[in-house]
Amino acid sequence: MKTAITAFLVSTTVLPMAALAQEHADHAGHEMGTMHPAAQPAPPKPAPMEAMDHSGHDMQQMPGMDMPGDAANHASELTPFAEGSGTARLPGNEGPMHGLHLMSGDWMLMAHGTVSLQYTDHGGPRGDDKLYATSMAMLSAERDTGWGRIQGKAMMSLEPAMDARGYPNQFATGETAGGLPLVDRQHPHDLFMELAARIDINAGPGTLFLYGGPVGEPALGPSAFMHRGSARYNPEPPITHHRFDSTHITYGVVTAGYSAPLFQVEASAFRGQEPDEHRWNIETPKLDSWSVRATLTPSRRWALQASYGQLKQPEALHPGEDEHRFTASAHYAAGGLSAMLAFSAKDRVPGDTLTAWLAEANWDIDAHNTLFGRIENVANDELFPDHEDPLHDQAFRVSKFQLGYARRIPLGPVELALGGSVNAYAKPAALDAAYGANPMGYTLFARITLGH
């Protein structure tokens, strides 16, 4: 595993940095003065030559703000990173979160939401099909002050209204329904996905920040899949979800860190246990686990993160087992393309270390057409939860290959996306009896999104 981690860090840090050096050599002076608004001290200090003073434009982009024409383009040039879920960062070229925005006094209010009607059909002996809907609504309010920024976030979903077993997702595992493990299923999200606040205080070239609330996301892993541009139109959650971003709904989170234009370092205390199957309530917050994360954003094209966490008994089906989780990821965005490569090592204590790889991309070919895809490789020992099964607790390495298309149709303040994806899998022959020799699947979707 150490060799795999070393190879990943070299490929996602050294190589991108070499490419960035060439990029800056070719475009010297072109991307000057990139600073996130939350990292700008007030009042502004005299800027050196390589940090041009843009105060004459009399505007600043607030995260999540859509602005017309040249104003939006100029604001994008000022932002070296975009804000992902929780306190995670994305490349600046991801841009602000889409949605409706309005000013109420000194406060910027933002509303964003999506509803997706989907039909999924997975073949093979364990396959299933289902017509279902996924949903997410976000509300945020923020205010810039003379000393920093105040931000409040709320995110909710009506997915608890669906069957507790969720929907088909071949080779995915994690959480329970009716006390039984979910295998080849994706669980519904909770009603409350985030109820948190963040305060930034100007400090030198960046800010000291404090984030937290009864429902939030600790500093562990890349931004959650529903917030990544690389997965924007993908209708299926990754089968590696519980290796990278399963903590995006955590009951009890406190995160402190330092945010500067080119980097961010942070540490969290949070509840390690995953949400239970009662998805309408808010569970009792705890601070029994911890994590640390470092993120590098050397240009608007790149966001590189590495994180480590120790989670106390995260899985209900593995009582008495803690988890040590390491993740690293490289996210790239430019020219309508958003892509991410990520690695995870899940070390059960006591138990084995299981690794996973994830590569995904979303390419907006033009104003109406998008191609997307994902490749995953994961070692999973939860495919046979029956203790009497001879394959129980055996780890099998499975790969999923997915390719899809979306047709985007602007409809005033919302966007309609119509599309679908197909899946194929590679697996050991020992799984043929359970899954068939060549299982395949597909998903069709019609998605309405507020803002586009």
What are residue 78's phi and psi, to 5 degrees? -85, -10
- The pLDDT of residue 316 is 87
What is the number of other CB atoms lying within 10 angstroms of the CB of residue 359? 14
Res 304: pLDDT: 98
What's the pLDDT score for residue 77? Answer: 52
Exposed e or buried b per residue across 38-48, where buried means at least 16 C-beta atoms within 10 angstroms of its C-beta: bbbbeeeeeee
Evaluated on CA atoms 83, 85, 89, 91, the torsion sign reads negative
Q: Are the C-beta atoms of 341 and 305 separated by less than 8 Å?
A: no
Residue pointed to by tokens 């002076």: 29
**pLDDT tens for each residue of 356-371:** 999 999 999 999 999 9
In 27-152, which ranges are continuous DSSP H helix?
69-78
CA distance 233 to 447: 9
Q: How far is CA 204 from the centre of its chain?
A: 29
DSSP helix/strand/coil, 212? strand
User: What is the pTM for the complete model shown?
Assistant: 0.82
Whole-number CA gyration radius for the chain = 22
Calculate ∠ Cα 409-413-418, nearest 5°: 25
Domain ranges of the chain: 2-25+57-450
Residue whose pair of structure tokens reads 């994806």 in the numeric block: 421
- At residue 26, what is the residue type? D
Identity of residue 10: V
pLDDT of 317 = 84
Side chain identity, residue 38 = A
What is residue 209's predicted lDDT score, i.e. its pLDDT? 98
Domain 2-25+57-450 coded CATH 2.60.40.420: no
- For residue 16, the 8-state DSSP code is H
Residues of the chain with pLDDT under 70: 1-78
Beta bridge partners of 180: 177
Strands 167-177 and 180-186: antiparallel
Give the residue from 141, 90, 83 showing the smallest Cα distance to 111.
Answer: 141
In 3D space, the residue among 346, 190, 380 whose CA is nearest the CA of residue 274 turns out to be 190
Q: Would you state the structure tokens that stand for residue 90, as one six-digit string?
A: 């994305």
The CA distance from 268 to 263, in Å, is 17
Query: Whole-angstrom Cα distance, residue 355 to residue 258?
Result: 30
